[in-house]
Structure 1
Amino acid sequence: MTLDPLGPLNVSFEFFPPKTPEMEDALWRTVRRLEPLNPGFVSVTYGAGGSTRERTHATVKRLVEETRLKPAAHLTCVAATRDEVDAVARDYWQAGVRHIVALRGDSQVPGAPYQPHPGGYDYAVDLVAGLKRIADFEISVAAYPEVHPDAAGPGADLDNLKRKIDAGATRAITQFFFDNDVYFRFLDRVLAAGITVPVLPGIIPVSNFRQIAKFAAATGATIPAAMARHFDGLDDDPETRKLVAVAVAAEQVRGLAAAGIADFHFYTLNRADLCFALCHLLGLRAGA
């Protein structure tokens, strides 16, 4: 719950599974710092090509066992048969996980076109349907305000989102974006297509502008020139960059909230500082 005059805001956070003991320590410091903000859920990603499957499972199970948080486990179609994916889903259900983020996933070969795994789920829509046959999972899926790079076009991309919702998904979470008008235009198209589930805006505080620029280029997200200017000259000034990052993200969220958006998904990059400061500026308080 927020104390902000814009009205109550609800947040969720995304983490990625750690690769080293040092990264493990950093992740759990982040989890403990953000846990008191009472997010609606926290998601844990898979690596490209399903490369972090076991670490994802371990992180999710630890969240269930050691925190009050509600974890949402990412699950993809890559590098596994249907039986293998179904076994993972059943294991999650037995462990008390009730929320899955169902994704197609990326190619196992960087830069190569995606190819469905022989005997596996072909695409996210197939995965959603399969999960609903296993148990009554809450299922989130991905949405792309600026169109998925592999989509034939905006219409085909929106049709795919509609199929995922019709298959049983209960919410969509967008790829990060920086231009709110892009999101608002996307929502107009979503509603016109008859999609009525929540479409949470994905927000990423920019801790490293060069890194985010690479992410944006890979996903098709545009970076407004005005935003780029905010970070100009700060490559070697991380402290100022943090201050600017929180201010820019807060301005974006406030703009969305002023238009009636109340639910936000924050990509943490396993760092608590920027997201905690952002939530504080938005009025969220620990234990509120």
Structure 2
Amino acid sequence: MAFHHAQHAQSLNQSLSEVNGAINVSFEFFPPSTPEMEQLLWSSVRRLEPLKPKFVSVTYGANSGVRDRTHSVIERIQQETQLVAAPHLTLVDASDEELVDLAKQYWQSGIRDIVALRGDLPAGQPKPTRFAADLVRLLRSVADFDISVAAYPEGHPDARNAQADLINLKRKIDAGANRAITQFFFDVESYLRFRDRCVTAGIDVEIIPGILPVTNFTQLKRFAAMTNVALPQWLHQQFSGLEDDPATRQLVGANVAIDMVKVLSREGVKDFHFYTLNRAELTYAICHTLGVRPKVAV
């Protein structure tokens, strides 16, 4: 029995040492819509800033009110923090001329990183004629931005099939994107298979896994239904019976994300993008466990 415990301890130590300090992170926030949410956002930004992420992205809605909030969050991150701010930019609801003007404004204000997306289509709008690849080309025509695009290990909800979706990603990379960030997922094998298929298709940029630390499984089921993401049976079992137990949900959610990152790290993944939902606690705890910590002054 003692030998078995020693083996288990050795395996755990090895598993943690494989990831400690060897990974890079980035974080996603969204613009707040109430004073309470604004307070939560900025306390989260401050909490995560010392972890020195590669960049932090800020999501962008189709209507002008949300867009204005995105710009103000980006400006404040630039002015008040040491973080690299990467605004989301979408084609929906904006002409090419408006997008060129906005890109020029960003470049002039010191923004060098952009997450380029087609954007969600408003209900009743006809099928799009412009796509994320067009936005990447447009940004490239304005300035030498560092451009991230979206990837979908389980397929975009609008894609005809997985191959068509992969071809679309290749178009975005060929148009000049620097990397792809995936939709959140929980089936690690689906990400690894997708990464292999990207290599086979000649996509030679980094495919950064998007990690969503779960605190609210009911909300997650809603997100997953909208985005074509499979929730494995084991995940349902992990959160079963915890509907009225938020403290335990936090622990379970952190454990799930840590396990995923450990497995992905062993498979050679070095960069991770966390969908924070503007909450710092879980993401900070996961990063700490994985060796991403504030630099201590000597």
The TM-score normalised by the length of structure 2 is 0.91
> What is residue 69 of structure 2 aligned with on the other side?
55
Give, in whole Å, the separation in 1 of the partners of 2:93 and 2:74: 20
Match in the other structure for 1:216: 224
Identity of aligned residues (%): 56
Q: CA RMSD in A?
A: 1.3
Residues 31 and 249 of structure 1, relative CA distance in 2, 3 Å threshold: same
Task: Tell me how far apart the structure 2 counterparts of residues 84 and 128 of structure 1 sit (CA, whole Å).
Answer: 15
Residue type matched to 1:87 in 2? D
Q: CA deviation at 1:216?
A: 0.6
Query: Aligned match of 2:138 in 122, 130, 136?
Result: 130
Q: Among 87, 95, 98, which residue is 1:84 paired with?
A: 98
Distance in 2 (CA, whole Å) between partners of 1:254 and 1:17 is 30
- Aligned AA (2:164): A
Q: Equivalent of 1:269, from 267, 277, 281?
A: 277
Distance across 1 between alignment mates of 2:242 and 2:83: 35
User: Which stretch shows the higher mean deviation, 133-142 or 44-53?
Assistant: 44-53
TM superposition shift of 1:114? 5.5
Question: Could you say what secondary structure the match of 1:52 adopts?
Answer: helix
Aligned to 1:241: 249
Cα separation, 2, equivalents of 1:113 and 1:209: 31
| Corresponding residue pairs, total | 279
Q: What is the CA–CA distance in structure 2 between the aligned matches of 1:58 and 1:238, rounded to whole Å?
A: 32
The one-character-per-residue Cα deviations of 1:79-134 (angstroms, maximum 9, x if unpaired) are 1111111111111111111001000001122xx46644xxxx81101000000000
Confirm or deny that 1:10 pairs with 2:5.
Answer: no
- Pairing 1:64-79 to 2, within 5 Å after superposition: 64-79=78-93
CA offset at residue 259 of structure 1?
1.0
* Residues in 1 aligned to 2:166 and 2:66: alpha-carbon distance in whole angstroms: 29
Residues 44-53 or 130-139, more deviating: 44-53
Matched ranges for 1:182-221 at <5 A: 182-221=190-229
Q: Structure 1 residue 51: deviation in Å?
A: 5.5
- Aligned partners of 1:203 and 1:40: how far apart in 2? 15
Distance 1:10 1:114, change over 3 A: farther
In our comparison, the structure showing a higher alpha carbon Rg is: 2
Partner residue, 1:163: 171
Residue aligning to 2:38: 24
- TM superposition shift of 1:52: 1.3
Q: Is 2:184–2:211's contact at 8 Å kept on the other side of the alignment?
A: yes
Query: How far apart, in 2, do the equivalents of 1:220 and 1:253 lie?
Result: 21
Query: What's the counterpart of residue 45 of structure 1?
Result: 59
Please list the CA deviations of residues 164-192 of structure 1 after superposition, one character each: whole Å capped at 9, or x if unmatched: 00000000000000011000000111000
Q: Any idea what SS the aligned residue of 2:17 has?
A: coil
What displacement does 1:285 show?
Answer: 1.1
- Give the Cα separation in 2 of the matches to 1:95 and 1:24: 23
Is the helix fraction higher in 1 or 2? 2
Aligned to 2:8: none
Distance 1:114 1:12, change over 3 A: farther
Q: Is the 8 A contact 1:101 1:139 kept in 2?
A: yes
Which ranges of 4 or more aligned residues in structure 1 deviate by more than 2 Å?
A: 47-51, 112-116
Equivalent residue for 2:11? none
Question: What's 2:120 paired with?
Answer: 106
Q: C-alpha displacement at 1:212, in angstroms? A: 0.7
The 8 Å contact of residues 172 and 199 in structure 1, kept in 2 or not, is answered as: yes
TM-score by length of 1: 0.94
Could you tell me how far apart the structure 1 residues matched to 2:64 and 2:182 are? Answer: 20
Q: Does 1:93 align with 2:101?
A: no
Q: Structure 1: which amino acid aligns with 2:290?
A: L
Residue pair 2:62, 2:90 contacting (<8 A) in 1 also: no
**Counterpart code for 2:189:** D
Give the structure 2 partner of residue 250 of structure 1. Answer: 258
